[in-house]
A and B are shown apart, each in its own frame.
Chain A
């Protein structure tokens, strides 16, 4: 099948590729762009390990073709930290609250939580649990994942309050 030229913006950088239409976005990110943060877990759109942010939506990159992301803005976990290496509040929260054990679900959890906090900066515990209900953790670590997201929400909204006060 003839290849198709695609361009998109990934983590703030313009990228292009030549892909078969059947190439899934997760394979484009991992194999052509070497962004191995998004993981392939179940490969059946259940587990959320492959979650990336696509034009302001959390999507499972195992269930999107790369050609569908033509022209899109994509954020993966690699794009979250500041250029000087300072961790994003969510990454810091997962470290501080022990929000991971094996770490396999973590990139998907963090990038999903990123969008959740964009839409709802101060979610309740119930809203966090519903918000990450498309992401599975098989270490049964949800308790600390919720705490990590609460840590980030508090830090991010505290920073916003401080900025407003200044």
Chain B
């Protein structure tokens, strides 16, 4: 399959990239790892006239601590996330999630920024970023702003990014050394998007839930932050009755499509099963 013709640009700074993207307007797309965009171009679902490759911009790379936050450059690959000692010790849910994204070859090139910016409800990182309360740093023509992950997703492939804007970094508050975490993903095979998946971050205080946050993947037009479900669990011991009530609250906000991964009702139930498993594993890991 041969994509439509386009002009290729490889800026070396964020300012240059943003200027190019805003000058070229709707005919231009930024290129990160390309493993969502290039297949769409090969199928001619996307036919941008200009590609602005972000690979030559060193400022978009790297993982560092900044105060109580971890800051990850948007062009950091899944492979680099998996290999990061800093993330493994402070934010292990990211490694756990990255290992469930696609396959090894795709993880060598697929980026965190691309995964969260694309707006595909099947991508795994958006729900994890909502769960963690991450913020996206966004550069646009002549300005920079921050958008909370929880406010970023408007619809399938529709986000709060304005034309000419790109995500430059992801800021994640570290949930503390004693937190429990889990990302549970049901998929048909390696490389598949989730039938349903759930992310959990929680802390315990003397056996009771002190804080809890839940994200759900691919069971709606957008990733979901299941705030009501998490609130039900605060103060509980994660006993069966509380978990059942929280799972019902999480299932209630889903509205998955019926597709090859199963009918909508099944996918909603699987979101509940993934959440139940994720809560159990997060509880085991919390100290």
A22 engages B6 (CB within 8 Å): yes
Known contacts A21-B6, A22-B5, A45-B35; A133/B103 CB under 8 A:
yes
Contact with B along A1-44 (1 / 0, CB 8 A): 11010000000000000001110100000000000000000011
B39 engages A134 (CB within 8 Å): no
B191 engages A134 (CB within 8 Å): yes
Query: In the complex, which of the residues A67, A68, A134 contacts B106, with contact meaning CB atoms closer than 8 Å?
Result: A134
A63 engages B103 (CB within 8 Å): no
Cα–Cα, bound, A131→B109 (Å): 15
Cα–Cα, bound, A90→B191 (Å): 25
How many residues on chain B are close to A (CB under 8 Å)?
29
Contact with B along A49-70 (1 / 0, CB 8 A): 0010000011110011101101
A63 engages B39 (CB within 8 Å): yes
Cα–Cα, bound, A65→B10 (Å): 13
Cα–Cα, bound, A79→B221 (Å): 46
A20 engages B5 (CB within 8 Å): yes
A46: Cβ under 8 A from any B Cβ: yes
Cα–Cα, bound, A51→B109 (Å): 13
For A21, the chain B residues whose CB sits under 8 A away are 5-8, 51
Interface residues of A in 104-122 (CB under 8 A from B): 112, 116
For A64, the chain B residues whose CB sits under 8 A away are 34, 38, 109
How many residues on chain A are close to B (CB under 8 Å)?
30
For B39, the chain A residues whose CB sits under 8 A away are 44-45, 63
B3: Cβ under 8 A from any A Cβ: yes
* A25 CB to nearest chain B CB (Å): 11
B171: Cβ under 8 A from any A Cβ: no
For A132, the chain B residues whose CB sits under 8 A away are 104
Contact with A along B72-91 (1 / 0, CB 8 A): 00000001000000000000
B1: Cβ under 8 A from any A Cβ: yes
Cα–Cα, bound, A147→B3 (Å): 38
* A54 CB to nearest chain B CB (Å): 8
Of A20, A45, A48, A133, the most chain B CB neighbours within 10 A belong to A45
* A82 CB to nearest chain B CB (Å): 26
B55 engages A68 (CB within 8 Å): yes
For A134, the chain B residues whose CB sits under 8 A away are 102-106, 190-191
* A79 CB to nearest chain B CB (Å): 18
Query: In the complex, which of the residues B8, B106, B108 contacts A65, with contact meaning CB atoms closer than 8 Å?
Result: B8
For B2, the chain A residues whose CB sits under 8 A away are 22, 24
Cα–Cα, bound, A21→B3 (Å): 10
Cα–Cα, bound, A102→B10 (Å): 40
Cα–Cα, bound, A21→B10 (Å): 12
For B51, the chain A residues whose CB sits under 8 A away are 21, 65
A112 engages B7 (CB within 8 Å): no
Query: In the complex, which of the residues B1, B42, B53, B105 contacts A58, with contact meaning CB atoms closer than 8 Å?
Result: B105
A68 engages B53 (CB within 8 Å): yes
* B11 CB to nearest chain A CB (Å): 14
Contact with B along A128-140 (1 / 0, CB 8 A): 0011111000000
B25: Cβ under 8 A from any A Cβ: no
B4: Cβ under 8 A from any A Cβ: yes
Known contacts A59-B109, A65-B38; A1/B190 CB under 8 A:
no
Q: A45-B106, A63-B39, A134-B102 are in contact. List 9 more A-B contacts (CB 8 A).
A: A21-B7, A21-B8, A44-B1, A45-B35, A65-B51, A68-B53, A112-B105, A133-B190, A134-B104
Q: Which residues of A are at the interface with B, using a C-beta cutoff of 8 A?
A: 1-2, 4, 20-22, 24, 43-46, 48, 51, 57-60, 63-65, 67-68, 70, 112, 116, 130-134
